[in-house]
Amino acid sequence: MRIVIALGGNALLKRGEPMTAEVQRRNIREAAVAIAPLADEHEIIITHGNGPQVGLLALQSECLKDSGSYPLDVIGAESEGMIGYMIEQELGNVLPEDKPIATILTMVEVDPDDPAFLNPTKFVGGIYSESEAAKIPDEKNQIFKRDGDYFRRVVPSPAPLRIFEIKPIRWLIEKGVVVICAGGGGIPTAFKDGKNCLAGVEAVIDKDLAAELLAEEINADLLIMATDVGNVCINFREADEERIGLISASKLKEYSFPAGSMGPKVEAAVKFAENTGRIAVIGALKDIDRIAKGEAGTVVLPSSDCMPEFIEHVGL
């Protein structure tokens, strides 16, 4: 099978952990150990989140008073290279020596007229009190919104339209390479003034929707969205919490999930199942081997008609 594995933030940084290189490498090492057995039997393509890393790099950039802060597309490229390097190295330490691995810096096109630019929602960077946020100079053109008890910068999160490096990604897959690409949703770019001239965009693309686009574009057989919970849940962490196991895309769309956590994953899984007629799974990274076999996670089927065949196939 050709499998796209979208690593959630837990693969890089667990909640409450310090954002040091050592901590991130340790978590990536755990992810590599979990993924490695699949590479023996399947074509593996890995994408990943980069939210905390982009926030850290943005804060560091703000400290460069003489040179000015770096734009988000450049920071996105930095994080893609940094995280890709760690994943590539840690996978190389657990895969056979002759198994090729490559990271591709991936530009992703967005529409400059996307409505997301009128309503920035993606939190990046550090936390501020209301008075601190109000003191940020207007010339920085930064927008702040409340995030719990604090204020944080928000940036647009437009929909991904096209992966510019899709051809070399396909070529590498066909040669048996484990490919790491489209990290953090890809580097946001758009055509300037409608001409054939690309320019970076001050935005952060949703990584889950970019993973879905990638899975479609490379004709993946399975999309796995690895996170820190075993299943999608209705009424998560409430007394009447209900875990979802096997479900059709149309049925899953009837439920509502938080936009800042499970919502984009569910949207991406549903879109992949409906657009391709194939399966998407949302589940825990530690269960990834069982997820690939259809034995764990929330399995999203293209339609309810597929359920009897799937149940028979996995022996449920």
The set of catalytic residues is 9-10, 122, 207, 265
Cross-strand pairs, 144 = 153
The Cα 129–Cα 310 span in angstroms is: 51
Question: Are the C-beta atoms of 252 and 32 separated by less than 8 Å?
Answer: no
The Cα 233–Cα 222 span in angstroms is: 21
Q: What would the two tokens of residue 44 be?
A: 């593996």
Amino acid residing at 60:
Q
Q: What would the two tokens of residue 217 be?
A: 């574009």
The Cα 74–Cα 67 span in angstroms is: 14
How large is the angle between the packed helices 207-217 and 166-174, nearest 10 degrees?
60
Question: Are the C-beta atoms of 112 and 190 separated by less than 8 Å?
Answer: yes
Which residues have CB under 8 Å from 258's CB, separation 6+?
Answer: none
The Cα 88–Cα 169 span in angstroms is: 15
Going 172 to 1 to 159 to 27, the CA torsion angle's sign is negative
The pairing of beta strand 233-234 with beta strand 298-301:
unpaired
